[in-house]
Amino acid sequence: MRHSDVQEAIRAIWRIESAKLVAGLTRMVRDVGVAEELAQDALVTALERWPETGVPDNPGAWLMATAKHRAIDVLRRGKLAERTHAELGQDLEDDQAHGGVDPDAVLDDALGDDLLRLVFIACHPVLAAEGRVALTLRLLGGLTTEEIARGFLVPEPTIAQRIVRAKRTLSEAGVPFEVPRGPELTSRLASVLEVLYLIFNEGHSATSGSAWVRPELCDDALRLGRILAGLLPDEAEVHGLVALMELQASRLAARVGPDGEPVLLLDQDRGRWDHLLIQRGLTALARAEALSPEPGRYTLQAGLAACHARAGRAEDTDWRRIANLYQALARLEPSPVVELNRAVAVAMADGPAAGLTLVDALTRDPSLRRYHLLPSVRGDLLAKLGRLVEAGAEFERAAALTRNERERALLLARAARCRREA
């Protein structure tokens, strides 16, 4: 195998195995920062050796064994003395005394529990939201600092600082390596789901930059969501979030035109939607609904996405049901953004004048003053009512507020068209 092929294979293996590796090491050393350092050391060793020796049959077990041996060396030098339990040394010495470890046992021993604990650590609410996102992508997504920075269009040193700060905060707070129970599980799980939701949303509708979507972020969030659903099979909202992401991801290819330009939902070629993802999403939604008679925020949003997924044509969309689902979501979590989305559904069901009445009421909400979708929606409704000069002004205002270059171009084009046709 060529050197470049080995390097590519190592990168792919790391993306798959890194979360398991860090999770298992964190269980042993009880410090996520130290665990990641040990995992990175094992990766460096693989990068040095595998081009000469070839990729081992069980690369995950090789990395784990290498990291554990490295932990022995560090422990002997006293660098982990204050961070580990006394029995770690004996545990690792026993491994060496018996000529190594059983590779399968290393990876299978409490793997699910370890991953679940790592999820709850990386998404711990003691961390700021941006720190949780960065740490989750680093530890559970296997992304490099550069990849995370590129995905969120943030300078690499900023992401590096967030990760360092997050690991330091976890260490100083003494966050235990365990899955919370009872009411704490519910509150902590909400933080975990929020992180995955934030990552996916940034991929689905990029807030800034020259790309309308960033599919790689959607892929990472969806992969982690599927893992979480496997680890917590009886949590309705976990399946609700997975359903939402599957259904939204099914439209990614159709959301972008041949030159990277945005394609709005009603203009999309539904033949380009991924029907396997739609089926997976509908299955996850059915499971979420079966687990809980009272749907949560993610299950309700998945229900909204399902209305679009089930419509073979744009005109077949059940806008009345969508408006009702938004109303239920607003009762659960009152939000002017939810009300704005409900106004769009009402406009589709009852006409643009009915929607505009609701939107106009929202213009007085100070929290939406810098929200570009408010003038964008208002412009769309005004255009449908033939008030083209006003519509053009609203589209221009929305264009000035958005930070996404593709969206700005779309809004300015709509403004220009309104000016021409007025």
pLDDT tens-place string over residues 195-242: 999 999 999 998 888 889 999 899 999 999 999 999 899 999 999 999
Q: How many domains does the chain have?
A: 1
| 86 falls within a domain | yes
| 42 falls within a domain | yes
pTM > 0.85: yes or no: no
| 101 falls within a domain | yes
Kindly state the helix (H) or strand (E) to which residue 209 belongs, with its residue range: strand 208-209
| 63 falls within a domain | yes
| 13 falls within a domain | yes
**Cα–Cα distance list, 153 to 141, 156, 207 (Å):** 17, 9, 9
pLDDT tens-place string over residues 91-145: 555 444 444 444 334 333 444 678 888 999 999 999 999 999 999 999 988 888 9
| 78 falls within a domain | yes
Q: Where are the beta strands (DSSP E) in 94-166?
A: none
Q: Output b/e per residue, 114-125; b: 16+ Cβ within 10 A.
A: bbbbbbbbbbbe
| 96 falls within a domain | yes
Q: Which tokens belong to 7?
A: 């390097």
pLDDT tens-place string over residues 24-82: 898 888 889 989 999 999 999 999 999 988 899 999 999 999 998 888 777 676 655 55
| 65 falls within a domain | yes
Phi and psi for 311 in degrees, rounded to 5? Answer: -90, 115
Q: What pLDDT, on the 0 to 100 scale, is given for residue 11?
A: 84
The residue type found at 264 is L
78 vs 273, which has greater pLDDT?
A: 273
116 vs 255, which has greater pLDDT?
A: 255
Residues spanned by the domain of 102: 1-109
Phi and psi for 262 in degrees, rounded to 5? Answer: -65, 140
Q: Which residues are within 8 A (CB) of 95 and not within 5 positions of it... i.e. 6 or more apart?
A: 68, 101
